[in-house]
């Protein structure tokens, strides 16, 4: 209301001052015509006498005015204004009128508003403001001619009264306009925001765990972007809370068993049921499995954060990170006596370094674990204009149709697997957050299974177009 009415009131105030000045100007224009008519009427009553000084004939022409003040009464609009006049002769002498009205000594304007030798101006007479008209009236007679100066002054009460009446008539209409604007603003805003207030009450009445989308079909069209943005925020919060609940649920489920086993092993060792060295070895294995589960669950939680991240990702050289991961796992490769080969082509990818490391490490570790001793393992990283492809080819037993259906589900493990079943779920989460694709395909030649191909395609970053090719032998 303040934002709308304050500028309107300022504009009305400025308009009121301007209107009052225009009203005064209009009143002056209207009543100046009356002053001019009065001066012309006085000029028509002037005569020229040939009587000289002391009444002698043959003197200079003299101006005579046969005029009484009562003759001006028809020009007085009412008793609120008074008219004063003065007639000056050819030489500036006082002829008739009010002697205390100062004689005019000014100049006529070059181009006046009337077809007469007349000028108008504001002055003071007898302590009050007046509007003065000065008319230079040619007067001719049988004995000569000359230019008479006729001054007519009128007090301003009537002009100000007319200007005030015009102003008051306009101001009350403008006040009515402001009142109408205020009423319209209140009604329109109340009606337009009613759906929003209804929506606010709905949100306040929701339970703490209610993160369903906001339904506001009656909201104005201008509010729809806000409703949609709110639903997007609610959806992200719902996804985040669901991820947290799932993490807590999975953590409690997956860590409960190894911790229970660890407690039993410690109790058996303290009671002497098993040899101390054997107990320590079993405890070490249990702690190792629990550590692996905890690390992978933390990695899965970090992957969930990638889906919520809105800031631009840094650019990484996937080839360099792949070689670093292969070097870290070199002892495991050597332990399985694998024939190892790696080919990498520099490929810049928008991602966090830890995400690319985790992705590559999980896939390579799975390939090593499922490859038979003495088998082969090959890593290839290639690049096109739009995509970078990582191919890890092992000589393992491949995957069955049943495993294919549950391949990327959390805690889904195959027969004889010793892992937690989180590795591929982590890989899929990372790839999806980076806008890529992942697939595990059996490599079959004829009717013989040759191994498994793990294929990952990630979009290439446009920020680093550098390209190189490296090849290393086992």
The pLDDT tens digits of the residues spanning 198-209 come to: 888 888 888 877
Q: How far apart are the C-alpha atoms of 48 and 66, rounded to whole Å? A: 11
Q: What is residue 223's predicted lDDT score, i.e. its pLDDT?
A: 79
What are the residue boundaries of the structural domains of the chain, listed by start? Answer: 2-51+59-165, 221-297+299-305, 312-472
Q: Which tens digit of pLDDT belongs to each residue from 372-392?
A: 998 999 999 999 889 999 999
Q: What is residue 410's predicted lDDT score, i.e. its pLDDT?
A: 60
Q: Which tens digit of pLDDT belongs to each residue from 160-178?
A: 887 788 888 888 888 898 8
Q: ∠319-322-324 over CA atoms, to 5°?
A: 110
Helices (H) and strands (E) in the chain, counts: 9, 15
Q: How far apart are the C-alpha atoms of 6 and 11, rounded to whole Å? A: 9
Topology of the domain covering 2-51+59-165: Beta-Lactamase (3.30.450)
The pLDDT of 441-452, averaged and rounded, is 86
Least confident range of 49-63, 297-311, 417-431, 438-452: 49-63
Q: How many CB atoms sit inside 10 A of residue 201's CB?
A: 10
The pLDDT of 62-77, averaged and rounded, is 66
Closest CA to 240 of 299, 308, 296, 298: 308
The pLDDT of 276-284, averaged and rounded, is 84
Residue of higher predicted confidence among 246 and 52: 246
The pLDDT of 294-302, averaged and rounded, is 70
Q: What is residue 259's predicted lDDT score, i.e. its pLDDT?
A: 80
Q: Which two tokens stand for residue 268?
A: 């058996």
Determine contact, residues 401/364, Cβ cutoff 8 Å.
no
Q: Which residue has the tokens 């069209």?
A: 221
Q: How far apart are the C-alpha atoms of 129 and 242, rounded to whole Å? A: 86
Q: Which residue has the tokens 């009445």?
A: 205
Element (H, E) at 24: helix 2-44
Fold match, 2-51+59-165 / 312-472: no
Q: What is residue 469's predicted lDDT score, i.e. its pLDDT?
A: 37
Q: What is residue 143's predicted lDDT score, i.e. its pLDDT?
A: 72
Q: What confidence tier does 412 reach under pLDDT thresholds 50, 70, 90?
A: low
Using a CB cutoff of 8 Å and minimum separation of 24, what contacts does 337-341 make? 337/373, 337/374, 338/368, 338/371, 338/374, 338/375, 338/376, 338/377, 339/374, 339/375, 339/376, 339/377, 339/474, 340/376, 340/377, 340/378, 340/474, 341/376, 341/377, 341/378, 341/379, 341/472, 341/473, 341/474
The pLDDT of 105-112, averaged and rounded, is 76
Q: Which tens digit of pLDDT belongs to each residue from 130-162?
A: 999 999 988 887 777 888 899 999 888 887 887
User: 3-state class of 413 per DSSP?
Assistant: coil
User: 3-state class of 337 per DSSP?
Assistant: coil
Q: What is residue 471's predicted lDDT score, i.e. its pLDDT?
A: 38
pLDDT at 74 over 80: no
pLDDT at 68 over 80: no
Q: How far apart are the C-alpha atoms of 42 and 135, rounded to whole Å? A: 10
CATH code of the domain occupying 312-472: 3.30.565.10
Please state, for a pLDDT cut of 70, what percent of the chain lies above it: 82
Q: Phi-psi region for residue 421, left (φ > 0), alpha (ψ -120 to 50) or beta? A: left
Q: What confidence tier does 460 reach under pLDDT thresholds 50, 70, 90?
A: very high
Specify which residues 444 forms β-bridges with: 449
Alpha helices, H only, 112-223: 157-205
Q: How far apart are the C-alpha atoms of 138 and 145, rounded to whole Å? A: 7
Q: How far apart are the C-alpha atoms of 327 and 320, rounded to whole Å? A: 11
Q: Which tens digit of pLDDT belongs to each residue from 212-236?
A: 888 877 777 887 888 888 888 888 8
Q: What confidence tier does 71 reach under pLDDT thresholds 50, 70, 90?
A: low
Q: Could you tell me the pTM of the whole model?
A: 0.47
Q: What is residue 458's predicted lDDT score, i.e. its pLDDT?
A: 93
pLDDT at 472 over 70: no
pLDDT at 13 over 60: yes
Residue of higher predicted confidence among 338 and 434: 338
pLDDT at 466 over 90: no
Specify which residues 339 forms β-bridges with: 376
Average pLDDT of the chain to the nearest whole number = 81
Q: What is residue 394's predicted lDDT score, i.e. its pLDDT?
A: 93
The pLDDT of 332-348, averaged and rounded, is 92
């Amino acid at each position: 209301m303040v934002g709308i009415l304050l500028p309107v009131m300022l504009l009305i105030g400025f308009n009121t001052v301007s209107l009052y000045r225009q009203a005064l100007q209009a009143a002056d224009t209207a009543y100046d015509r009356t002053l001019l008519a009065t001066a012309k009427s006085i000029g028509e009553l002037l005569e020229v006498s040939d009587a000289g000084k002391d009444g002698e004939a043959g003197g200079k022409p003299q101006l005579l005015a046969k005029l009484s003040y009562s003759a001006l009464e028809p020009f007085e609009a009412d008793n609120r204004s008074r008219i004063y006049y003065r007639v000056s002769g050819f030489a500036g002498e006082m002829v008739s009128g009010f002697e205390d009205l100062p004689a005019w000594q000014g100049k006529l304007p070059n181009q006046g508003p009337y077809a007469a030798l007349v000028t108008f101006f504001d002055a003071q007479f007898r302590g009050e403001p007046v509007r003065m008209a000065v008319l230079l009236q040619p007067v001719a007679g049988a004995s000569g001619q000359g230019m008479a100066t006729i001054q007519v002054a009128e007090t301003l009460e009537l002009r100000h009264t007319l200007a005030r009446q015009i102003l008051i008539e306009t101001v009350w209409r403008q006040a009515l306009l402001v009142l109408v604007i205020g009423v319209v603003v209140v009604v329109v805003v109340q009606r337009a925001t009613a759906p929003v207030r209804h929506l606010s009450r709905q949100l306040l009445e929701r339970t703490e765990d209610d993160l369903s989308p906001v339904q506001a079909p009656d909201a104005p069209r201008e509010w729809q972007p806000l409703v949609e943005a709110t639903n997007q925020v609610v959806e992200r919060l719902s996804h985040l809370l669901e991820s947290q609940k799932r993490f807590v649920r999975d953590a409690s489920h997956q860590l409960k068993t190894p911790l229970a086993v660890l407690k039993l092993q410690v109790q058996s060792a303290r009671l002497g049921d098993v040899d101390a060295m054997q107990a320590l070895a079993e405890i070490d294995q249990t702690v190792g499995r629990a550590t692996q589960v905890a690390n992978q669950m933390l990695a899965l939680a970090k992957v969930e954060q990638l889906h919520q991240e809105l800031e631009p990702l840094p650019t990484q050289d996937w080839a360099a990170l792949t070689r670093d991961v292969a070097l870290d796992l070199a002892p495991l490769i050597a332990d399985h006596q694998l024939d190892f080969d790696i080919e990498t082509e520099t490929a810049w990818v928008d991602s966090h370094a830890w995400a690319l490391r985790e992705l590559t490490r999980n896939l390579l570790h799975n390939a090593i674990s499922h490859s038979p001793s003495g088998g082969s393992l090959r890593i290839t990283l290639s690049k096109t204009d739009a995509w970078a492809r990582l191919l890890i080819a092992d000589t393992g037993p491949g995957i069955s149709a049943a495993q294919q259906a549950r391949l990327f589900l959390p805690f889904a493990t195959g027969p004889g697997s010793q892992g937690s079943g989180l590795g591929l779920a982590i890989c899929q989460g990372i790839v999806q957050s980076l806008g890529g694709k992942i697939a595990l395909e059996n490599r079959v030649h004829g009717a013989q299974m040759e191994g498994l191909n793990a294929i990952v395609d990630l979009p290439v970053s446009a920020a680093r177009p550098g390209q190189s090719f490296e090849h290393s032998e086992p």
